[in-house]
Amino acid sequence: MPQTTLFDRKGASLGSVDLSAELFDAPVNEAVIHQAVTAQLAGRRTGTASTKTRGEVRGGGKKPYRQKGTGRARQGTKSAPHYRGGGAVFGPHPRSYEQRLPRKVRSLALRGALTAKLGDEAIRVIDTFALDAIKTRDLATVLAALNASGRVLLVAPATDETLKLSARNLPTVDVILADSLNVVALVQADTIVIEQPALARMQEVYA
């Protein structure tokens, strides 16, 4: 069973904590993780981009000028794509970018991402944040003590408004619930700080 150090708010070690083997000792399949990231990012696209074809633009019913005798190339309509205001060729139309991904594939990608982050020593487990008030400075001090740098992902066991609002003004810090993890958030994070009670919730949901 994998283990990691358990820290307190001041960055001092409180011993070690056992981690779920299903989550933190899983096979790391980079192709599956890439597929999950691609599918998740594609699902965020609104797909509302739209253009008009030559049959949808206004005008174009009359021939611009006579067929012969002008010295110019013959034209049949001003709605042709090479005219300003003409229809677009192969332009985008509203559609869904959603990619269906099997549940087992998503689970494998999530567990692989957690395992990879543990192997990169990017995971910190803290006993509790226990912020007394909404203070960004206090949270920043805790993160500095944990040596959590770069883009930081805080994993909380349940909704914690004090933690959420304290992290709001830190542009590189995100807060996520233990039962709402996703592959993109894990991959993008340089450091993942997990509150100890969240480990049980993670194992319950994803193991």
- Overall average pLDDT of the 106-132 stretch: 93
- Which band of pLDDT confidence, cut at 50, 70 and 90, is reported for residue 107? very high
* Amino acid present at 27: P
Provide CATH code, domain 3-29+101-206. 3.40.1370.10
Does residue 61 register a pLDDT over 90? no
Query: Using an 8 Å Cβ cutoff, are 14 and 6 in contact?
Result: yes
Query: Using an 8 Å Cβ cutoff, are 160 and 183 in contact?
Result: no
Average confidence score pLDDT of the chain: 93
Q: Which residues pair with 173 in a beta bridge?
A: 152
Q: Which residues pair with 156 in a beta bridge?
A: 177
Q: Please write the tens of the pLDDT for every residue from 68-104.
A: 999 999 999 999 999 999 999 999 999 999 999 999 9
Nearest CA-CA partner of 201 in 174, 176, 167: 176
- Overall average pLDDT of the 194-198 stretch: 94
pLDDT at 153: 96
- Overall average pLDDT of the 48-72 stretch: 93
- Which band of pLDDT confidence, cut at 50, 70 and 90, is reported for residue 140? very high
- Domain segments of the chain: what residues? 3-29+101-206
